[in-house]
């Protein structure tokens, strides 16, 4: 029973508030909202911020793919060769994330700034031109997202690889599979649920993220998270903000629905 109470208070109630807000009409000046069953707000917001939605999809997907490529070897190495120090290596992966999300991103801004040591070094080494910059570009946002969400990719991958029975791998070798074939035919297929879980866990928060775009992206191109934040906190239009949030939620749910269709809903629970 207490679990149900928690679920209602922390999950159902806010969700209902957000859904109903998205159908209301608000007066930004007074902040008062009245229910007008304004279904038109959803498509209107999608149309209005189509570019930002696509930018978010693009950055989120790019960051997720970068994370998958970076994490797979890390997770693979820890799972198969970590030995008794597995937990230590996993801890190492997580240690940077004990620092606040915003501070970590601000440090990246410092590192990547034109006067920062990284670019200064590259300029002095004549590897980049004098006016080369990283901050304020889409690449900086993708890099920031990839950095901030790396554990969300690495951990599910690790779980998937860790649970592969080593004897199954021996069976593959026994049945004439070379190392490459064993990887392609056994390890990779068996880690698919983990790859999918990692994709969802990384993509969903990266898609809705606004911190990285605001700190590292400057005015280059806006992500939907920033739009939602501005709509709520700058414009004060709660109805429009809620409508945008609902759209983000629906896009995420489609991803989860696809996952459960392909791999079954049980495997979601196992990785979360």
* Binding interface with other proteins (CB under 8 A): 165, 167-168, 170-178, 181, 185-186, 189-190, 192
Q: Which is nearer to other proteins, 42 or 182 (CB)?
A: 182
Q: Which is nearer to other proteins, 159 or 223 (CB)?
A: 159
Distances (CA, A) of 15 to 12, 22, 140, 212: 5, 11, 33, 25
Q: Which is nearer to other proteins, 86 or 185 (CB)?
A: 185
From the CB of 64, what's the least distance to other proteins, in Å?
23
Phi and psi, residue 26, nearest 5°: -115, 150
Any idea what DSSP says for residue 25? E
Structure tokens at 249: 């939620």
From the CB of 192, what's the least distance to other proteins, in Å?
8
From the CB of 159, what's the least distance to other proteins, in Å?
15
Tokens 């959803």 belong to residue: 42
What's the CA gap between 133 and 217, in Å, rounded? 11
Do residues 93 and 154 touch, judged by C-beta distance below 8 A?
yes
Is 26 in a helix, a strand, or coil? strand
From the CB of 75, what's the least distance to other proteins, in Å?
18
From the CB of 167, what's the least distance to other proteins, in Å?
4
Q: Which is nearer to other proteins, 32 or 175 (CB)?
A: 175
Q: Which is nearer to other proteins, 126 or 266 (CB)?
A: 266
From the CB of 181, what's the least distance to other proteins, in Å?
6
Do residues 133 and 119 touch, judged by C-beta distance below 8 A?
yes
Q: Which is nearer to other proteins, 126 or 167 (CB)?
A: 167
| Nearest residue to 198 via CA among 272, 251, 254, 131 | 272
Query: Per-residue DSSP letters for 167-180?
Result: HHHHHHHHTT--HH
């Amino acid at each position: 029973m207490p679990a149900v109470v928690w679920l209602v208070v922390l999950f159902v109630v806010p969700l209902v508030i957000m859904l109903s807000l998205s159908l209301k009409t608000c007066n930004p000046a007074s902040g008062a909202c009245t229910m007008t069953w304004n279904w038109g707000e959803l498509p209107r917001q999608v149309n209005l911020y189509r570019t930002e939605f696509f930018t978010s999809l693009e950055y989120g997907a790019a960051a997720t793919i970068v994370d998958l490529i970076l994490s797979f070897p890390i997770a693979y190495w820890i799972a198969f060769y970590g030995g008794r120090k597995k937990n230590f290596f996993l801890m190492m992966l997580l240690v940077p994330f004990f620092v606040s999300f915003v501070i970590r991103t601000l440090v990246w801004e410092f590192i990547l700034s034109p006067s920062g040591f990284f670019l200064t070094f590259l300029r002095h080494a004549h590897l980049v031109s004098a006016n080369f910059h990283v901050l304020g570009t889409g690449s900086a946002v993708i890099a920031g997202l990839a950095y901030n969400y790396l554990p969300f990719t690495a951990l599910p991958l690790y779980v998937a690889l860790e649970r592969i029975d080593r004897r199954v791998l021996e069976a593959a070798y026994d049945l004439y599979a070379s190392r490459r074939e064993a990887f392609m035919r056994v390890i990779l297929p068996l880690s698919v649920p983990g790859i999918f879980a990692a994709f969802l866990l990384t993509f969903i928060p990266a898609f809705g993220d606004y911190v990285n775009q605001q700190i590292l992206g400057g005015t280059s191109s806006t992500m939907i998270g920033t739009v939602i934040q501005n709509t709520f906190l700058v414009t004060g239009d709660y109805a429009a903000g809620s409508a945008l949030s609902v759209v983000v939620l629906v896009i995420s749910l489609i991803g989860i629905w696809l996952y459960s269709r392909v791999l079954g809903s049980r495997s979601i629970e196992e990785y979360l």
